[in-house]
Amino acid sequence: MSKKVLNIDPKQIRLVFIEEVSVNINDTDMTENEVPSLETNIAHLTAYNLEEKKFLFGLELLFTNKSNNSECKFRFNFHFIIDNLEEMYNLSEDGLPVFQKLFVSTISGISYSTLRGIVFEKTRESNWNSIVLPVINPTNLLDSWIQQE
């Protein structure tokens, strides 16, 4: 397997569609000044179509208020067209593409940053009071996978 030189060119990455798979914002009982004890879980999935230069990055985010077990869950797919997708992977010995970590981390960062705004906006008028997701290292998102049912 020969290694390609990776060149991330932002002009060749296009986010073409944001698919809302599911949003579930359950009411949570919190007083105005209460700081909830939240548990947060996040996972991702990826898919691709090499011929059409398409790449999908899905994110699932779950908040649980541990004081009353109420939940707030988001699942979105981010659909990209990558003009130079053929430069973003190497073929494994069995002929399957292995995408370079820098490329997937870049797509992860774009998707997560977009999700931050979506979550803020969707929780703004709820009693979850505008959840602001922290800025994170997008590589960390690659550690957990969405479990397919």
Give the tens place of pLDDT for each residue, 53-67. Answer: 999 999 999 988 887
Check: CB of residue 72 under 8 Å from CB of residue 56.
Answer: no
Q: Read off φ and ψ for residue 115, nearest 5 degrees.
A: -60, -35
Structure-block tokens of residue 42:
């996040």
pLDDT tens per residue, range 3-26: 555 778 889 999 999 999 999 988
* 11-26+34-143: CATH number: 3.10.420.10
pLDDT along the chain (149 residues), means of 10: 69 96 81 68 93 96 84 95 94 92 94 94 84 85 70
| 50/46 Cα distance (integer angstroms) | 13
The predicted model scores a pTM of 0.87
Q: Where are the domains of the chain?
A: 11-26+34-143
